[in-house]
A and B are shown apart, each in its own frame.
Chain A
Amino acid sequence: MSGYDGSGAGLRDGSVGGAPDRSHDGSVGASRETLRDTSHGAVRDGSVGGSPDDEVEIVAYPNGPFLVRGNISLTTPEGVELPRDRRTIALCRCGKSVIKPFCDGTHKIIGFTTEPEPRPES
């Protein structure tokens, strides 16, 4: 992780990139947010957040799952946080995964297909 953000001379000691999330078992998203805030705060006049990189991104992969990046909260209808073990997650789109809401690759076995994604009108 050294060199996580090499854009500022003051960060070259690795203090920003070193050892994320080793001291607690909180969500990965939270730890990522912390890292971002730290680096932006150090490099850019103390302004934190607001970077386009902090936005949630959901990518619809053809004939496959939705991949979700960014700091989202995944919960039950009662608001109980679901365990999330990685930064980027794949959400089941075929309905047949046995680890829903996550994808387990079953869509490939059942021949699940998606329609071509609509193109933006221009």
Chain B
Amino acid sequence: MSSTDLQPSAPSTPFTISQGPMRMPDPRGPASAAVRDALLGIRPPAEARAAIDSAVASTTDIVTDDDLQLTLFSLYELHYGGIEGVDDDLEWSADLLAARAVIEAAFEAELRERIAAPDLDDASADAVSARLFALTAADTGPSLSRFVARKASEEQLREFLVQRSIYTLKEADPHSWGIPRLSGRAKAALVEIQSDEYGGGRPHRMHSTIFAKTMSRLGLDTRYGAYVDLVPAITLASLNMMTMFGLHRRLRGAIVGHLAAFEMTSSIPNRFYGDGFRRVGHDRDTTWYFDEHVEADAVHEQIAGRDLAGGLAEAQPHLLPDILFGAAACLAVDGWAGEQMLTAFSEGRSSLRGPVVVAEPAS
């Protein structure tokens, strides 16, 4: 890592990260190549549409389709930190938004087809919270966190961080889209959680920044998007789903349910992740990110279950099915992403699309 990535601050605050434009990802097929050309001004945005229509029509599984998930990721990135060399105005290009909608419609339809949302008749905060805790407690698939705790090598731990960096270097951002769509108790709850995610006003405590510190300790590049070309489609799909839920007001129930399930499946796995890094000799500075989540998410899951999800269900009972769908979708998609990693690790191969270039670990 170059020293220009690190901004000096107080002694206890090694660095903060910036959400600058990321490097343009390498295309993975005709749709992502067409969108790259449109974003770089090489071809008009309207021309990307045909490539996307064709890719959506011919995909066998949009959730793990590298070309389409990268295309969606790149188009969504225009709403976050942006991509190098791309005109900021293209964020609102009607042609690109229309093309994006084609992928979104197929992606959402596929998720709804494959993921069974639980039933619930009672929209009280009490019932919603209890249902979400029961749903997340029943999520007993193969456990990546237990593998990390007991067996993962240093190299596998590094891969794990690379995979997680796609979301975690912008941790909490997709759910923040939900804030202006909510009101009252649910809004207060979401803001209370997000404020903690963003460090409670202290930049060096932002979860994304603490994660970057862990990455730097293992010699990884902390710039956003540095490893996008290495991660599989399912990892992009996990973030794309959150962004889709967050960016569409229609799906506000789903982004709320997603966050509730995310928080409810965090504190215990994060203890295991921290154990894995401790087992191979990493210190508290390196495991701070995981240790922080053990404590923070034990707070957040209560607020998210009862006040956020329950509060929204009580205020707008018609959103209850989407709240439960969002929660189930979080468990399903992150389960698939974890399984992809766990399967590769168990078979002694990399879960990534190429080797990770490792710098000298930061001290």
Contacts and interface: CB of A to CB of B under 8 A. Distances in A.
A19 interface: yes
B302 A64 contact: yes
A28 B202 CA distance: 10
Contacts of B12: 25
B133 A108 contact: yes
A99 B290 CA distance: 13
B268 A90 contact: no
Contact of B295 (A19, A28, A104): A104
A62 B298 CA distance: 14
A64 B271 CA distance: 18
B294 A28 contact: no
A122 to B, nearest CB: 19
Interface string B275-296: 0000000000000000010111
A28 B306 contact: no
A31 B306 CA distance: 27
Given A99-B294, A104-B271, A89 B202 contact: no
Interface stretch (A6-14, A44-52, A80-88): A80-88
Contact of A86 (B126, B200, B203, B306): B200
B295 A87 contact: no
Given A86-B196, A87-B200, A105-B268, A65 B295 contact: no
B116 interface: no
A108 B201 contact: no
A99 B296 CA distance: 12
Contacts of B200: 20-21, 28, 86-87
A19 B204 CA distance: 12
B195 A87 contact: yes
Contacts of A67: 299, 302-303
A105 B294 contact: yes
Category for how many chain B residues contact A: 20 to 34
Contacts of A1: 201
A107 to B, nearest CB: 9
A71 to B, nearest CB: 14
Given A85-B295, A86-B296, A105 B267 contact: yes
Nearest to A87: B200
Contacts of A89: 299
Given A1-B201, A61-B306, A62-B126, A108 B299 contact: no
B192 interface: yes
Nearest to B295: A102
B202 A22 contact: yes
Nearest to A106: B268
Nearest to A25: B12
B65 interface: no
A103 interface: yes
A104 B296 contact: no
A13 to B, nearest CB: 18
A79 to B, nearest CB: 23
Contact of A90 (B129, B205, B299): B299
Contacts of A62: 126, 129-130
B94 interface: no
A90 to B, nearest CB: 4
B211 to A, nearest CB: 16
Contacts of B295: 85-86, 90, 99, 102-104
Interface of A: 1, 19-22, 25, 28, 31, 61-65, 67, 85-90, 98-99, 102-106, 108-109
Interface of B: 12, 126, 129-130, 133, 137, 192, 195-196, 200-203, 205, 267-268, 271, 292, 294-299, 301-303, 306
24 contacts: A20-B201, A22-B202, A61-B306, A62-B129, A86-B196, A86-B296, A87-B196, A88-B299, A89-B299, A90-B298, A98-B271, A99-B294, A99-B295, A102-B295, A103-B299, A104-B267, A104-B268, A104-B271, A104-B295, A104-B298, A105-B294, A108-B133, A108-B268, A109-B268
Given A28-B200, A85-B295, A108-B133, 19 more contacts: A19-B201, A21-B201, A22-B201, A22-B202, A22-B203, A62-B126, A64-B302, A86-B295, A87-B196, A87-B200, A88-B196, A88-B299, A103-B298, A103-B299, A104-B294, A105-B268, A105-B294, A106-B268, A108-B268
